[in-house]
Amino acid sequence: MIDRKDVVTIRIPFPNISSDLAVRSHMYICHHTKQRLKKFVKCQSLKPYMLANKTIKHFIDEVPNLKRNPFSKPTRIDCDKEFYTTNLRYPLSLRTTTRPDVCDNLIQMVELKLGCDGCDSNALNEQEMLQLNSCVSRI
């Protein structure tokens, strides 16, 4: 089972497009785990629209650095919101391969940013997760 600091890659279906043809891929950092509860923050490849759009208030930008993170592109970690599941089991095989986690300093930065003004908490769609991520299972 994954633990705090671990980074997982999750596949999400597109509406109206067969998931045999195209799926979305998201990276999440697990920042909290307690019994069945797993909490994550979302990582997105940094894009120019993010530089012009200030809708994300609390974030961390990371460049690829295997001493700190498993990212292959410059990445923005969105600390305005967290995502959680309560009934899913995530095997270690779901972790990123170049490096399975983030370093202590980065997870501490994430927790600090999340605590700044509080953050929105959103449930991940567990059914969607099970549909495309075959190694994820119900507890």
Partner 1 sequence: MPNSNKRKLALCGWLQEHQREVYESSLKLQKFLFFYEVFSKTEGENADFRNLQGYERGPVFSAVYGDYKHEKPELDQVSLSIHQDGLVKINQDRAQKTSFMVKSLTENELTDLTHMFHIWRAKEDRIMSGERNVPLSEKDFNENDEELISQINAIYTKELVQNSIIVSVGEKNFVFSSDDYNKLTEKHHEALLGLSTNPEINNPVFVEIDKRGRLIVD
Instruction: Write out the H or E segment, with its range, that includes residue 62.
Output: strand 59-62
Is residue 48 involved in binding partner 1 (CB under 8 A)?
yes
Is residue 134 involved in binding partner 1 (CB under 8 A)?
no
Q: Return the structure tokens found at 83.
A: 């995502």
Is residue 103 involved in binding partner 1 (CB under 8 A)?
no
User: Which of 4, 32, 33, 46 touches partner 1 by CB under 8 A?
Assistant: 46
8 A C-beta contact, residue 29 and residue 16: no
Is residue 125 involved in binding partner 1 (CB under 8 A)?
no
Q: With CB under 8 A as the contact rule, which of the stretches 49-57, 100-108, 112-120, 121-129 interacts with partner 1?
A: 49-57
8 A C-beta contact, residue 89 and residue 130: no
8 A C-beta contact, residue 131 and residue 137: no
Residue 46 backbone dihedrals phi, psi, to 5 degrees: -65, 130
Is residue 47 involved in binding partner 1 (CB under 8 A)?
yes
Residues that bind partner 1 (CB under 8 A): 11, 14, 16-25, 44-49, 51-53, 61, 63, 73-74
